[in-house]
Amino acid sequence: MNQTAAMVAPVTAVRAEPPPATRAATRLLRILFVAGFSGDLRTGAGNAVLSLASALRRRGHTVETLLREDVSAALSSGRLARFAFPVAAARRVARNAVKYDVVVIHEPSGMAYTFARKWNAALPPCVVMSHGVEQHCWDLGAEKARRTLKTKVVHPITELAQANYSLCHADAVVCLSSDDARYIERRWEVPSARIHRMNNGVDADLFRVEWAPMAEPRLLFAGSWIPRKGTREFSAVFSELRQSRPGLRAAVLGSGTPVDVVREDFAPADRSAVDVLPSVCREELPLLLGLDQIYVLPSHFEGMPLTLLEAMAAGLPCVTTNICGMRDVITHGVNGLLVPPGDAAALARSLSDLIGSAPTRVRLGSAARDAARGLTWDAAAEKWETLLAEATEKQPRRFVLQEGRWSDELREDPGERLAGVLVKLSEELQQAPNGFREMEQWDDLHIAGRILDLGCGTGWKAAYFQREPSNSVIAVDRDARLLEFGRKTFGVESLVEGDACALAFPSATFDWVLAVEVIEHLARPDLLLREVHRVLRPGGKLLLTTPNRLQYLRPWHPRWFYRAMLRRMVLEPSHVREFTARELEQILPPGLEVDRLHYRGTLCGRPVRINIDSIPQPFRRWWAQGIELVARKPISGAA
């Protein structure tokens, strides 16, 4: 068996039957969630991914997951798993690309797939999901642990580099906090249109939790017991509060750390007052939250913690820090309390006030529950559904020449821009002493008779051929404004509004069909060529010109060369794609034979500098500005 194939275990898809209304209202998607952690509902990240996947299944979508335990290489490679898992996941998707409409991949595991997506446009679009931007956490020093020299060197190279690349090159990015969304846009200049802030969700069952106020509520810490979560502040404040309230107790749920280790972080006199549950099953959660207690999370960095949403849904008063996703769901004094991160004094004051006021606890808890009612997993799935449907339409990023530089952002409507260019060109031709000099390059073709000009723009080519009375010229374009301009400017009346891919003319009508700089604007060039073949009479010819895609393969411009190899560069925003000479010949329909193929224009598109005819023939195909193809419909090929 191939070693790479053995790295990934089969994944089973689960399909839930949706309500009829949902099925009719939305497009059902095939979704793959990829994450390099365990699918354990007792962990925050695992619970988030699996709960969202289940909610999407309830809406009728087919959802698969590929997690750490599904990849044997990740389980056996130790620290190298951070490399093995992303590569194995990318290969898994590549082998089964037709099975998925979109891939949602966790930020640190996304580099291999986003890189593969750049080279292979057939791969499904990629949405990168961040539960807290890794680089943002690193820059803030939010882990609150001493960084060794090894960590300072290894972590940025291995973990951060992969995470950052995936955020920069994904088709869409999902983050859980407004802070992260602004950070991604500012740090890497990712367009805001590609960044989406989504809320985590909460189980609807928690809204049925009921608790009765008590004279002395306990403090509740839920989550991993690590310094980044504010464990030092929590233990210090708990000891301070117990000096005036000796009966105060605390609970630490889902610490992921042994009981004795957690209690060692508290003062010796307080350890017996701390209840620790290293792991909590989902079935136990309603009972554990159904007590008179104050949820406390003095974290230094988060995405949007599930434990906070769960406490809100259970109606607990919440005290947390004024950062990240917490302030996206908590409004200070309305449905919770926010304190500055690392400020133990402010945390102690807030908790002391809450402990001493049962009405305030009830008011804040009730408001928190009301705020959480719109944050269920079903509500989150509805928003994700819209995002993923939009992502399926995404094409890999491409770069166009705008204002003298290559950019992947369109500053104006491509159609409007193209129309403006054509009008300006027509005005220049009208004012020039010999405005039709450009047409003289085709005098040796002896274009005459019944002529059809497709994508004619303002009709200036038709005006040139119309000067010969024996010619019958019809020009077609889909932009009525350009045609009207052409009638007024050049006096050509035979300008017809229509679709070049669905012509309204009888078969075998024309001696010549012109498609000058047209085919690169079409999503289905094969339809145009099929129509050309139909309307040409036997022996008729097609003149087709288009930019040469290979002109960008310039080794002296490495970034251009790279993007050109990916077919990601086009001269004009309105171009759908550009061609090489070989690609043009391949898309010609049966019944059209190449009569001649020339390279035209200047070297690498540099006007008036080096004419392409002056360089050796083998180099023309690489750096000629344009391609000119003449094809003939044989007399024996009559329909």
Query: Do 412 and 306 lie in a common domain?
Result: no
Q: Pick the last residue of a domain from 197, 222, 244.
A: 197
Query: pLDDT band for position 412 (50/70/90)?
Result: low
What is the pLDDT of the chain when averaged over all its residues? 86
Q: Which residues contact 77 (CB under 8 A, 6 or more apart)?
A: 83, 84
- The answer to the question of residue 23 being in a domain is yes
- The answer to the question of residue 380 being in a domain is no
The arithmetic mean of pLDDT across residues 614-619, rounded, is: 76
Q: Is the pLDDT of residue 15 over 60?
A: no
Q: Is residue 230 a contact partner of residue 298, using CB atoms and an 8 Å limit?
A: yes
- The answer to the question of residue 398 being in a domain is no
Structurally, the chain folds into a number of domains equal to 3
Q: How far apart are CA 565 and CA 587, in angstroms?
A: 20
What's the one-letter identity of residue 283?
A: E
Q: Is the pLDDT of residue 146 over 80?
A: yes
Query: Do 437 and 555 lie in a common domain?
Result: yes
Q: Is the pLDDT of residue 291 over 60?
A: yes
The arithmetic mean of pLDDT across residues 362-372, rounded, is: 96
Q: Which residues contact 562 (CB under 8 A, 6 or more apart)?
A: none
Query: pLDDT band for position 82 (50/70/90)?
Result: confident
User: pLDDT per residue over 533-545, tens digit each?
Assistant: 999 999 999 999 9
Query: Do 98 and 247 lie in a common domain?
Result: no
Query: Do 558 and 480 lie in a common domain?
Result: yes
Between 130 and 443, the more confident residue is: 130
The strands making up 472-477's β-sheet, listed across from edge to edge, are 495-497, 472-477, 450-454, 510-516, 536-547, 624-632, 593-603
User: pLDDT per residue over 188-228, tens digit each?
Assistant: 989 899 999 999 999 999 999 988 778 789 999 999 999 99
In the chain, the N- to C-terminal Cα span, in Å, equals 53
DSSP assignment of 483-531, as one string? HHHHHHHH----EEE--TTS--S-SS-EEEEEEET-GGG-S-HHHHHHH
Query: Do 363 and 510 lie in a common domain?
Result: no
Query: Do 192 and 228 lie in a common domain?
Result: no
Q: Pick the last residue of a domain from 326, 356, 373.
A: 373
- Please state the separation of Cα 540 from the chain's center in Å: 47
User: How many CB atoms neighbour CB 634 within 10 A?
Assistant: 12
Query: pLDDT band for position 12 (50/70/90)?
Result: very low
Least confidently predicted of 183-197, 250-264, 297-311, 400-414: 400-414
Query: Do 175 and 211 lie in a common domain?
Result: no
Between 178 and 618, the more confident residue is: 178
**Domain CATH code at residue 96:** 3.40.50.2000
Query: Do 355 and 499 lie in a common domain?
Result: no
Q: Is the pLDDT of residue 21 over 80?
A: no
Q: Is the pLDDT of residue 185 over 80?
A: yes
Q: What is the pLDDT of residue 4?
A: 30
Q: Is the pLDDT of residue 495 over 80?
A: yes
Q: Is the pLDDT of residue 637 over 60?
A: no
Query: pLDDT band for position 609 (50/70/90)?
Result: low
SS3 call for 277 = strand
Between 79 and 27, the more confident residue is: 27
Query: Do 628 and 562 lie in a common domain?
Result: yes
**Domain CATH code at residue 426:** 3.40.50.150
Q: Pick the last residue of a domain from 142, 162, 197.
A: 197
pLDDT more than 90, % of the chain? 58
Q: Provide the residue range defining the domain that includes 142.
A: 3-197
Query: Do 191 and 263 lie in a common domain?
Result: no
Between 287 and 401, the more confident residue is: 287
- The answer to the question of residue 397 being in a domain is no
pLDDT more than 70, % of the chain? 88
pTM of the entire predicted model: 0.68
Q: Return the residue matching tokens 């023939």.
A: 617
